[in-house]
Structure formats: C-alpha cells, structure tokens
Amino acid sequence: MALSVSYFAWVRERMGIADEVIDLPAGVADVAALVGWLAARDARGARAFAEPERIRAAVDGVMAGPGTAIDGVREVALFPPVTGG
C-alpha cells in the first residue's frame, strides 16, 4: 500500500527529507506501528523516532493518536508537539 508520509520541524531535519511515499508492509496498522517501523528502517529513522512519546501525528488531515488506524489512508504527517502562538 502506497502511503504519503510528511515530516515537520526536528522530525523533518532528522529524517533529512520533508516527505516521501512509502510502500507499507502488511501488518503496520496504526500510527504507533508506523513510527516503530520508521525507527527500525534506518539510522535516520532511528534518530527521528528514538522517543515515540514525543511524536504527534495527523492522518488524512485530522489529528490522530498512536492507536489511530492507517489502513487505507492517503497521508500521515509526523511531527513534534506544536509551539505556535
């Protein structure tokens, strides 16, 4: 399944890219699993996602938790807690 994944702030810096299209293996069913899969994939992912509790996500434009399903979605954004205002 092809999934668009985008990264923001220090997650983007550590990944070295702003977005990519991933061919997601079966069994990676929710946000937490995606984060774990990215952390295990390579050194950049290991650095970006070393502390999964500091990662927030939006799934198809809606704020999501670690347990949010990603089956059939088009895009996931991964980022640190926001600091606007």
CB of 17 to other proteins, least distance (A): 14
Interacting residues with other proteins (CB under 8 A): 6, 8-10, 12, 58, 61, 77, 79-85
Q: Which lies closer to other proteins via its Cβ, residue 37 or residue 79?
A: 79
CB of 71 to other proteins, least distance (A): 21
Which residues neighbour 52 within 8 Å (Cβ) at sequence distance 6 or greater? 32, 35, 36, 39, 66
CA distances from 59 to 42, 43, 47, 85 (A): 23, 24, 22, 23
Q: Which lies closer to other proteins via its Cβ, residue 25 or residue 68?
A: 68
